[in-house]
A = this chain, B = another copy of it.
């Protein structure tokens, strides 16, 4: 059995899979992909994932992509220390939340994070080289997103809509955590991993929406997440972000 993970810093989509592996205590070969050098768009990596996105898991020669799918795959293949509820209704709740996080929370937090971070990354790259880097991004929608972020050209309306959606998420998570200790019931699950990976820094990015008064349960949940050995082991993975482009985390 060989298990190899291509991943970046313990942040966002890479963090989801790193937390699952650490929570389950599964050994794996780590391959760091440097997003600040755009290694995810280099031919050697596109040969692994044609979409040019991390994380990508290789298990016994099979490539699995899409971080939410990788999480379910790991729980299918390594069922010990289950990360999905046994109860089917709770399992459905977990999947409903994962869809909401993937389709609403992740893009909304991401557009604001990119807006702050990408201009700093691109500041150190010449114009011609940047055009060459853009041209090799496999997904047109990702190409458009990088281009807009680098030029600080996300439409105001889009940024405002993303902020509104973060507010919806804050209310939804708070409401759920009033009923149960974890997002999909009485046990920690993949919904918690997904939400944490994309929104653990949200109180810093959106202090007006997530704070001790508006979302006390969410802040408490973040502390309980950080205290988990698997989560802190994921945080301890190497972070090679250039300090010039690092966001406070």
Binding site for B on A (CB under 8 A): 59, 62, 64-66, 68-70, 72-73, 76-77, 88-89, 91-92, 95-96, 99, 102-103, 140, 164
Contact = CB atoms under 8 A, between A and B. Distances in A.
Contact of A92 (B73, B89, B92, B96): B73
Given A76-B88, A88-B76, A91-B76, A69 B99 contact: yes
B96 A88 contact: no
Contacts of A77: 88
7 contacts: A62-B89, A66-B95, A66-B99, A72-B91, A73-B89, A73-B91, A140-B164
Contacts of A164: 140
A79 to B, nearest CB: 10
A72 B92 contact: yes
A96 B66 contact: yes
Given A64-B96, A72-B91, A73-B89, 19 more contacts: A59-B89, A62-B89, A66-B95, A66-B96, A66-B99, A69-B95, A69-B99, A70-B92, A72-B95, A73-B88, A73-B92, A73-B95, A76-B88, A76-B91, A76-B92, A77-B88, A102-B103, A103-B103, A140-B164
